[in-house]
Amino acid sequence: MKKGIRIILSALLVIGMMTACGGNANNAPAATTTAKATEAATTTAKATEAATTTAKATEAAATKAPVADGMNPNINMESHEPIVFERVRPTLVLSRPTHYVPVEETWFFTFCRERYNIDFDVKIIDGSVWNEQFNLMINTGDLPDLFSGYMRFNANQMVQYFSDQGLGYDMTELIDKYAPGIKRAFEEIPEMRAAVTTPDGKILSLPLHSEPMYDSYDRFWVRQDWMKNLGMDVVKDRPGTLDEFKDFLKAFRDGDPRGDGTKVIPWGIAWDGAINGQAARPTVLHAFGYNLGATQGNTDNVLNYNTDPPEFSYFPLSDHYYEYLTYMAELWKEGLMDPDSFTQDALSLQAKGGDNMVAVVKAGGQVHAGLTGDNAMLPESVGKEPSDIRWYDYIYVPMKPMNAPHRIGKDPVYPLRPAIIPGCYVITHNSKYADVLVRLANMAFEWPSAMYLCRGTYMDSDYDTLPDHRGAFMQDEKTKRIGRYWENVEKFPDTDGWTFFENQIAGWHFIIGYSYIRNFPEYMKNSYQGEKSWYSDQVFLSNDYEYVIGLSEAKGLDISQLEFGYKYGKPIVPMAMYLSPSSLERANELITPIDTYVKATEVKIITGDLPLSTYDEMMKTIKGMGAEEYKKIYSDAYEVYRSSLK
């Protein structure tokens, strides 16, 4: 990105303050003295600038433009700096992240106070007691002005608490008055408005707009070194159908992939290990044309892509559930699944991966497969500069989506992570600062503030005012990568680096708006090409191995090629399927016993403890328990969601 640009920087929401990176030290005393003098001068200049800004804010307050009827005269409608002429102090509740720094040391809150005249009174709640503390706030009526953070409320919670109980603030009129950027976003992306509009027509939250991408937790990963040892081509010999996948696993079972005669586990599974991505079912369901929708709290809520348009389905009632049971039972009988598949947890599976025993695993990356550090990389790639590392330097590489027999010749189904997530920014009904908070939120949907929402300020820019450049980033011109990402990988190996980078920059982890920056023409200009390339190389293209290799050898990036990353991606069950409180209560009442029965019976059929002929009895049982009624509740909600997009 082009450095030195001096523009309004806005960063907005959501959770967690992170520790910041430290500054550099000089060894030579003379250089140190000079550096300190320069630093002192810089500090003085920045202090002077801050004073000037305050003076300008005061001046602006004295020369405010005429206020239209019904508008808050304290809100600056001419610009975002300051947002309010006279300082306000709204209350904000966040859940506490893993890496925490005090509010007073966080760039975002300092910026809001000094530049926007919004001095947040922040309460941090530890995630382990969030539910308890939230219920206490509900029962006592002691609500903050704003909720935001890791606790993002799902659609059902938005209806139950903020709509039905009236605890939320309907932002519809305030958006019309104070948020032209949000209005424009809703018009350009109807799904965004639909995601935050409750059945009674209210807008009670603002969304995170993420870049839709393959969900890394729904991929199979395979050891490429073992494929090579068995004479396979890492790219060409990856299976594309379930029948090919069965033969693929047999090769690991019957061969000597390690080269030392040790028998390995063809497919490592932790059946209930979804927390770290090892649960096996979803990736197989995709091959049958069903896209998992665990966002609604049940792993059998799916979209059926065997129909056009796709329909909501409860998978055990689907046309292909019997085929699924048959296929899984065959894999078990052939010894292609981990014997401990249904008894071990995710950590046990990781331990086997760390002991070099697992060929294929459904995971979110190397660490979830049990490998970390140099052990996760090919020997020839160990020692590479972090900025030069690509996915194909790792031992485990992603496999491509597959098809069941009835879908051969059709595009595979692969999940796209939800692009729009509601419940990220919730103003409560008794807030006296609702209009100010909506005006603040508008920054996430305006240029240039949206661009810097999750990136922070340029290093040594006018807004780089905190010690050690906290809240600022730098860019490596050679690699076109954000420099501090790699520093954080080294300093905080228990994080993914990039997430940590965004946390310590913006002050909050997730941010409303977020990827909406890609809707601005300015974003695609050459000055931002490097950042776009970095994002594409590291995120989009990692989902297709051939494309990663091709891109790594190319000197540049054609932005139009990004569409390739979406070739097989299909949306999962939307997170914005709103159920009424009575429907939600009934659905939960029905699914609890049904789910318990289905899970237990399915495992017994797969392992041969029950014959496949049990299927007929199983269907009769779950229908008698109300499975069809349960499916209809969610099918109706899905149709309401679809109609809201028209």
The string of DSSP codes covering 499-528 is HHHHHHHHSSSS-SSGGGGGGSGGGGSGGG
Residue 454 main-chain phi, psi, to 5 deg: -110, 10
> Lowest mean pLDDT: which of 81-90, 199-208, 223-232, 556-565?
556-565
Tokens for 401, please give them: 């989506």
Give dist(CA 103, CA 17) in Å, integer: 7
Identify which of 278, 282, 287, 414 has the alpha carbon closest to the alpha carbon of residue 358. 278
How many angstroms separate the CA atoms of 485 and 482, rounded?
Answer: 6
pLDDT band at 591 (very low <50, low <70, confident <90, very high): very high
Rounded Cα distance between 213 and 211, Å, is 6
Residue 288, pLDDT > 60, answer yes
Q: Give the mean pLDDT of 580-586.
A: 88
Higher pLDDT, 276 or 23: 276
Which tens digit of pLDDT belongs to each residue from 459-482?
A: 566 766 666 656 555 443 333 333
The pLDDT of residue 533: 35
Other C-beta atoms closer than 10 Å to the C-beta of 38 total 10
Predicted confidence band of residue 334 (pLDDT cuts 50, 70, 90): very high
CA-CA distances (angstroms) from residue 326 to 59, 103, 608? 75, 55, 11
Residue 414 three-state SS: strand
Per DSSP, the three-state class of 91 is: strand
Residue 601 CA to its chain's centroid (Å): 33
DSSP secondary structure letters along 418-468? PSEEEEEEEEBTT-TTHHHHHHHHGGGGSTTTTTTTTT-EETTSTT--SGG
The top-scoring range by mean pLDDT among 22-36, 419-433, 476-490 is 419-433
Beta strands in 254-348 (DSSP E): 265-268, 290-292, 301-304, 311-314
Residue 602 binned pLDDT confidence (cut-offs 50, 70, 90): very high
CA distance 262 to 258: 7
Is residue 18 predicted with pLDDT exceeding 50? Answer: no
Tokens of 463: 């807004």
Record the pTM: 0.72
For residue 257, whether the previous peptide bond is cis, meaning omega lies within 30 degrees of 0, is no
Tokens 């990781």 label which residue? Answer: 350
